[in-house]
Structure 1
Amino acid sequence: MQTVLQEIQVDEPLYQLFPGMTKQEIVNRALLIRKEAMEKESPHRCVEGLFFLKETLYKNSFNSEAFPKDKLPTLRIFEVGSCFGVALRKLVLDGASRDNIFGVDVSDTFVRLGYQFFDDKASFGDRIRVLNVLADNFFDVVHSWAGPEPFDVVIANLVFHCLPDHNDVLAERAYKLLKPGGVLIGQTAAHANDMNEQFVFGISPRKAVLHSESSFNNLLKSHGFQTVKVNLNDHPMEEEDIQWMSRHFAFDKNEASGLSLMSFIARK
């Protein structure tokens, strides 16, 4: 796999996370992080495609609804599937309280590489920990760490499509984490065609899931969410993304029309 440095984009707001560093220095560090992550973990398009340099949460069309600037300093925020932790670090820069943010990821490699990427173990502390959202003791661990108070916002960015057999558990646990009126926000792989049921593709253990607006509404409302809004146009999938899906999941490229990373927000 070849990468042309000049073609790699770093979103302008993310430069704030690397004070004093040039684009080339940031990209070089990102490529080292990507290399180790790809060697030690199963393939993830968001890692291989350097999505963490094009952080998607603040581009989500519902971002300002989930994180109003006047309330951001007091919001309790929990992220499932933090990966390298770009979103939470950016939220702190935007005004969120470091003491009110908590993130988990199943991969100790991703968590460790996140601290290495941003070189902020001393200042960022243990805001992101290794924990499987599907674990039996998930809530016990969260409550002993973050306290029993519910959260204002739960982030599940690029997570639902990675857990095709566990979407119900993820939706249920996100709902339970939230206070009344709290919101779930993120993106997931989706298809513009209207489907009442999710579409699982790939061969076990490498499977993923596509939702439509209808199937995702059905999923979240079946677990108690009162309102669900989606936007299929925030992040259309590019040809390179579709080729990656075909390569790793035996995805039929003939079914690729209308694919996107669908932004969503759901209120408890």
Structure 2
Amino acid sequence: MKYASVIGDSIIRFYADYVGIKDRNELTTHLKRVQALLNENNQTYRCIDEFKFAYSRMCDRFFYPGLIEIGKTSSPLLIDLGCCAGVDLRKLMLDGYPVKSLVGVDLSARYIECGYELCRDKDKLPIRFLAGDIFDESFLSLHGQNNNNLNIYRHKASVVHAGSLIHLFHSTQRISQFLQRVCCMLLKGGLFVGAHVASNRTTSVYRPSRGHTKQYIGIDTFRSLLESHDFSNIEIQTSPRLSLEEEEEIDDISIFWVSFSAVYNPPSLKPLSPTVHTTIED
């Protein structure tokens, strides 16, 4: 995908109004420079290659209007897992979501720093970002054994978002472990939303462009995993995903984007209380 095909008028307006870059040539230079900085992280991702880090994709998902409504409630804490440069969170802020109730989490501190560079707002942005591995017990404990990092938000989030993240896990077992950790953060009645690449059935496909075998989760398998972790009211929408030119079609496998939302309804947690106000303290 070429640069010009993804950087449209709305994105140009964002950089003109929020970042202060009004010249299109300057914007092109800026985005390519930040792309190079992101690629210094020794990990290659298609979304970075295609400049998808530069704009919000969350705002085009079917669940986005509902998030804005949650932002108007008394318990609006939203945690964005795998936030990368954090443009989705900035879009939420600009659309009226209470900024002190937004938390970005990424494995890479460099990606978070690149987000500040991308948006030129390190000295003024009040969104809290945390760098760490959610599979690390010291960062997020399944048993609540410490009170730092993500543990301070245990069962306090009304929304957990995972964008372009789930398809990075290499097995259904790892996805199940990830869902366990999502559950650690959600209130009863909280919403788990996101988007990832999936297929019509769970399978492994060799990707010549990357030189490795890729695991794709099937949509029915993903739904079953959500149900097994006490999620209900599951809504899943699909949209086409264009394959890389060097990737061949394999038998009856269809690969597409999945957008989803699901409500966390465990039997043992107290329900979301309208009188509880959850924000991030400075």
* TM-score (structure 2 length as normaliser): 0.78
- 2:241 counterpart (237, 244, 247): 237
Where 1:82 maps in the other structure, the secondary structure is coil
- 1:179 counterpart (176, 179, 187): 187
Deviation at 1:88, TM superposition (A): 0.7
| 8 Å contact kept, 2:155–2:183 | no
Q: Per-residue CA shift, 1:62-98, capped at 9, x if unaligned?
A: 2223332772685110011010001111111111112
Aligned: 1:25 with 2:26: yes
Where 1:132 maps in the other structure, the secondary structure is coil
- Code of the residue aligned with 1:142 in structure 2: it is N
Deviation at 1:114, TM superposition (A): 0.8
Greater Rg, structure 1 or structure 2? 2
Aligned: 1:190 with 2:194: no
Aligned: 1:142 with 2:149: yes
- Paired with 1:11 and 1:76, the residues of 2 have a C-alpha distance of 31
- Paired with 2:192 and 2:12, the residues of 1 have a C-alpha distance of 23
| 8 Å contact kept, 1:73–1:97 | no
| 8 Å contact kept, 1:92–1:98 | yes
| 8 Å contact kept, 2:81–2:106 | yes
Deviation at 1:28, TM superposition (A): 2.0
Where 1:190 maps in the other structure, the secondary structure is strand
Q: Per-residue CA shift, 1:213-266, capped at 9, x if unaligned?
A: 211101111111123211012xx2124xx337x4xxxxx533586322110111
* TM-score (structure 1 length as normaliser): 0.82
| 8 Å contact kept, 1:84–1:115 | yes
- Paired with 1:174 and 1:151, the residues of 2 have a C-alpha distance of 10
Provide closer, same or farther for how the CA distance between residues 14 and 225 of structure 1 changes in structure 2, counting only shifts above 3 A: farther
Query: In the alignment, what sits opposite 1:211?
Result: 217
Deviation at 1:135, TM superposition (A): 1.0
Unaligned residue ranges in structure 1 (runs of 5+):
247-251
Aligned: 1:167 with 2:175: yes
Where 1:173 maps in the other structure, the secondary structure is helix
Equivalent runs, 1:112-131 vs 2, <5 Å: 112-125=113-126, 127-131=128-132
| 8 Å contact kept, 1:72–1:96 | no
- Paired with 1:131 and 1:51, the residues of 2 have a C-alpha distance of 22
Query: In the alignment, what sits opposite 2:7?
Result: 9
Deviation at 1:202, TM superposition (A): 5.0
Query: In the alignment, what sits opposite 1:66?
Result: 67
Q: After alignment, is 78-87 or 135-144 more displaced?
A: 135-144
How many residues are matched? 251
